[in-house]
Amino acid sequence: MPVSTPASQQWIRRYHPAPAARVGLVCFPHAGGSAPYYAPLAAALAPSVDVLAVQYPGRQERRQVPPVDDVRTLARQSYDALAEAGFDGTGRPLALFGHSMGALVAFEVARLMEQRGDGGPAVLFASGRRAPSRVRAGADTPRDDASIVADIRALGGTDARFLEDPELLGMVLPALRSDYRAVAGYRSAADAAIAAPVVVLVGDADPHTTPEEARAWQRHTSGPFEVRTFPGGHFYLEDQQRAVTAALSEVLRDIGA
């Protein structure tokens, strides 16, 4: 008889556990991304911060699980797994970090935390993504494989290496298609907001997020808000890892004090 695996074990990865840390940070990957993307960040922040990374269905060891092509469904399933593991914001302070598509998932998880009476996250870090209510004409539309690959190649980042290997590309394309559909289908009301502080991180040459689109996140929080800009494009956080780690540490240090 098959033995079911708890949702928390399927969805949550901890590469450098820091159970004694006073604050936890849950990280949500970008479109086509996976939990190990955050392993270097986990190493850099440990042992002061306990970093958890969400592993979406349809990639790596979860490749046989059908991917989810809806941002809110990803958020709900992520939230359920976190709550099952006790990371729902009712214990020690919990912050959320999402890059690109992950910023939208993190925002919806934050809304669920607040709506379900968990107290909400201590802070939401939204990286490399314009505000939830900002939609570019023609940008957030379904893509065919060729345009998805072209977009990833233009953005750069470590994921671009998959483009050069047909076998690897074939393995990641199902998740990429699903993630791009999820982003294309996502719409948020202009007044959808959380009470938690929001810190937006963005590269100064990111083609997907202008300074004005980054500042538009302010309408989605009733708490403190700031934008931190780094040199680089959409995947600025790879070249600016030390600066990003320092910025996160600064904010999280105050929360965990």
Return the active site residues: 100
**Residue 203's beta-bridge partner residues?**
230
**Residue 99's beta-bridge partner residues?**
127
Residue 79 DSSP label: H
CB burial of residue 136 (10 Å; 0-12, 13-18, 19+): exposed
Instruction: Retrieve residue 86's tokens.
Output: 């006790």
Nearest-Å Rg of the Cα atoms of the chain is 17
- Which helix (H) or strand (E) covers residue 52, if one does? strand 49-54
Residue 123 CA from chain centroid, whole number: 13
Instruction: Retrieve residue 8's tokens.
Output: 């928390």
78-96 per-residue burial string, b: 16 or more CB within 10 A, e: under 16 = bbebbbebebbbeebbbbb
Phi, psi (rounded to 5 degrees) for 135? -120, 125
